Structure 1
Amino acid sequence: QSLGPTIIRGQLFLPRRRGKAPVVIHFPDYDERASFPGAVKDYSRTLTEKGIALLSVNLRQAPAGTAQRPAAVTSTTRGASTTRAHAAVGTARSSTATVEAPLPPLVAMGLEPVEKSYLAHCYLDALRAVDFLRLQKGIDSARIGLLGRGLGAAMAAFVAHMRKDSVVGMSLERPSPAWISRWLDDSRGSMAEQIRELMRQKSGSRAKWKKSLELLDPINWAPSIQVPVLFSAGLEDAIHPPMSVFGFFNHLQTEKAMQFFTDEEQDPTGKKERLTSLDFLVEQLNP
């Protein structure tokens, strides 16, 4: 249970071991299926075989009852059906039905007030994941490693800022948003596109909205993060622009390292990147 009536779902993978197990919390990216095809469960054994639990958290969806938008019109004729992006003219032998698609959660919740936006709620959901683990008898909630990609990396940074007594290390894969003003200009990902579209619909200048969103910028929390951090960046990544990642990295004042890829063909499935993240977290949790 998180803010309001929202239930945050996920999977908890437990190792076979005596005593309390350290744990990694994984936060995924916004629209992760498009940007990172590897399933988290494919890597869970990398942790559980070393006596480490894994909590993989799903991002919240749009609240029930939010507006929907027409996605397509389905036309059925003589038992055959086709889906088209525009309306069809009905005949005696055909019928049409509009298929409603839910708004993306970020769009459905809007940007104002910023403290009630989708991004703000995701950050608070991340804290609830820590609270959940504190109630699990077999988990050592004082030894938590954080793994996040894209938006999930920003969520992980917020947890490290707010739960210093629990987090011992984190791996941030291509954190986005970070250095929000620059990220909004550079990113071609769906999250940035949706924010830019919302900004176009609102009164006021783009600069004003950027300033408001900077309240949610992980760079704000960088000075208070004290645990070892591994970053990753792709120099040709259009979804998670590298300049934003480097900006966040440079603001950190803790032990830190960076793995970067000169092009996306070096690790097309992201497997090498993910396994490097997990190896780093294993070192922090099982020194």
Structure 2
Amino acid sequence: MKTCIATVSLGGTLEDKLDGIAAAGFDGVEILDADLTAASSSTADIRRRCDDLGLTVDLYQPFRRAEGVTETEFADVLQRFHRESDIMEALGGDAILVVSNTDDDAIDDRDLSASQLHALGEAAAEHGATVMFEALAWGTHINRIADGEDALRRADHPSLSLVVDTFHLYAVGDGIEQIHALDPRGIGFLQVADAPWMDLELIQWSRNHRCFPGDGEFDVLAPVAGVIEAGYTGPLSLEIFNPGYRERPAADVAAHGAESLDALVSRLHYTTT
């Protein structure tokens, strides 16, 4: 199975992160837009570095405030989306992460959100790309995997796919039942994160306490196995927000992440054979 890790999981420069990720044996990378902006290298140089290291750019992220906005604002959203998609293409990627609207003024109209996601799918198709849509646990109106799937079903565009993130799954109290209820044909990306169980504001829990599989208290294996047993063949990607990880050398953290993912894959093989 192809392995991947998000650059947000590591500290240091983007160049250091990529070197550490490659040395740890990952196949691909999710590149955070802020990491690219802060890099001393150009976008073209980052693409060449990934090519030289044998890393594929599996996701460029995140694109925020994409749906649930007024039609007037959505014209600006589309322009912004095209600019970000140009960057994604320059990196050699073909998938961009769009997250559900988390703002207080988000419009509670699922059909409106669906129509705007459909338009983003059309825009992504112009770039030969796929929108990977993720329902954030603190999303204003789309905050569960089932909400995300419903919005995409209504949007009905081949350039739209669903992201399954184990942290967001458990953070809202969902579990394996919700994974089994998904249409596996719609799943485009699988992000894996463990965490300790904590009574915290969702965004604070997510941004400060995620950890690698096996370092927390979530049953990460069950949803990962459920998605894969349903036929998912895409990357198995670590997306870890943890300030403690970012204080350590990127190569050390990447190596630890690779070890944790290898252990998860070994357990997965045992479970599914």
User: Considering the TM-score relative to the shorter chain, is it more than 0.5?
Assistant: no
- Structure with the larger helix share: 2
Please give the range of the TM-score, normalised by the shorter of the 2 chains. Answer: 0.3 to 0.5
The structure with the greater share of residues assigned to strand is 1
Larger RCO, structure (CA 8 Å, separation 6 or more) = 2
Q: If the length of structure 2 is used for normalisation, what is the TM-score?
A: 0.36
